[in-house]
Structure 1
Amino acid sequence: MSDDGVSVILRSDDYESVHYGLALAAAALAVNKPAVLFFTMGGIRALQGSPPALQDWDRDAANRARGVGDFETLLQACVELGARLIVCEMGLRSLDIDRASLRADIPFAVAGLVTLLEETKPGMHLVSL
């Protein structure tokens, strides 16, 4: 993999932000660029349950019907293509979310901003949604 990939901070619990972050990471991985997904604050809700507790969730079915990659397809693509998923420890504490409430089928690490910055290698873009 080349070094010029993306680190995406998912900090909102709205469907559009999370969906676009997953699409951006999946696209980077598809062209052999590394991707880091950092779930913090409201964005952590994307990993709570199936379906996740995201605002405007009904758009997922509409996207699927229109041939647009849906949430689960994009999330699984990110996992299968080797994205590094990090759940923010500070975000978990701030929102009083128990790690056990997050999906067990998605591999992620619980860490903080220092780890995000360490994983964002020189040449990678850091994007916050």
Structure 2
Amino acid sequence: MPNPIPATGAGGTSALSIVLFAGGFDRVHYALVMASAAAATNRKVTLFFTGRALRALVHETEPGVLGWHDLDPADDGSTPVARDRYFATHGLATFEELLEACVAMGVTVMACEMGLRALGLPPGVSLRADVPVATGGVVTFLNEAPGGGAMLFV
């Protein structure tokens, strides 16, 4: 008789680390879908934002930055706001709903210090106050990622 799949995942671990380096709205939105679903199944989840995906964490009152509204267009060419509105009218979770769920379920959110500099954002840029964001580099992220856990790049 084959061994059943452990409740903690096919590999026997409960950790999921997601690196968000692309800034397309659909990619960032779906990473939040995956993170919230994994957290809902009692997995330890870390989201590591870098590159253009970091725009999703920048507070919208920063000069010239519109937060997640400033992400790259969705895969269908629509603006992030239009795509999010489409999701809302079709009963799908919106960006804010998913991010709020991730925060409520204890997903660790990290912002890459190098990525913030690469985007030309000033030191001490204001990140979202409603999301506990740890800043660090790749080494910090890798040191904190549980060994044997799954790691995805989006």
Gaps of 5+ in 1: none
Indicate the residue corresponding to 2:140 in structure 1.
115
Q: Percent identity?
A: 39
Measured after TM superposition, the shift of residue 123 of structure 1 is 2.6
Indicate the residue corresponding to 1:106 in structure 2.
131
Judge which range, 42-51 or 54-63, deviates more. 42-51
Indicate the residue corresponding to 1:47 in structure 2.
57
Measured after TM superposition, the shift of residue 77 of structure 1 is 0.5
More helix by share: 1
Indicate the residue corresponding to 1:93 in structure 2.
117
Measured after TM superposition, the shift of residue 21 of structure 1 is 0.5
Q: Structure 1, residues 12-71: CA drift from partner, whole Å, max 9, x if none?
A: 111011001111110000000010000001010011226521123021110111111110
Measured after TM superposition, the shift of residue 96 of structure 1 is 1.5
Indicate the residue corresponding to 2:41 in structure 1.
31
Aligned counterparts of 1:61 and 1:88: Cα–Cα separation in 2: 29
Aligned counterparts of 1:5 and 1:124: Cα–Cα separation in 2: 5
Judge which range, 106-115 or 90-99, deviates more. 90-99
Q: Contact (CA 8 Å) 1:4, 1:122: kept in 2 or not?
A: no
Q: Larger relative CO (CA 8 A, sep 6+): 1 or 2?
A: 1
Q: Structure 1, residues 60-88: CA drift from partner, whole Å, max 9, x if none?
A: 11011111111000001111100111000
Gaps of 5+ in 2: 1-7, 61-65, 74-79
Cα separation, partners in 2 of 1:66 and 1:51, compared to 1, 3 Å = farther
Given the two structures, how large is their TM-score scaled by the length of structure 1?
Answer: 0.92
Q: How many residues align?
A: 128
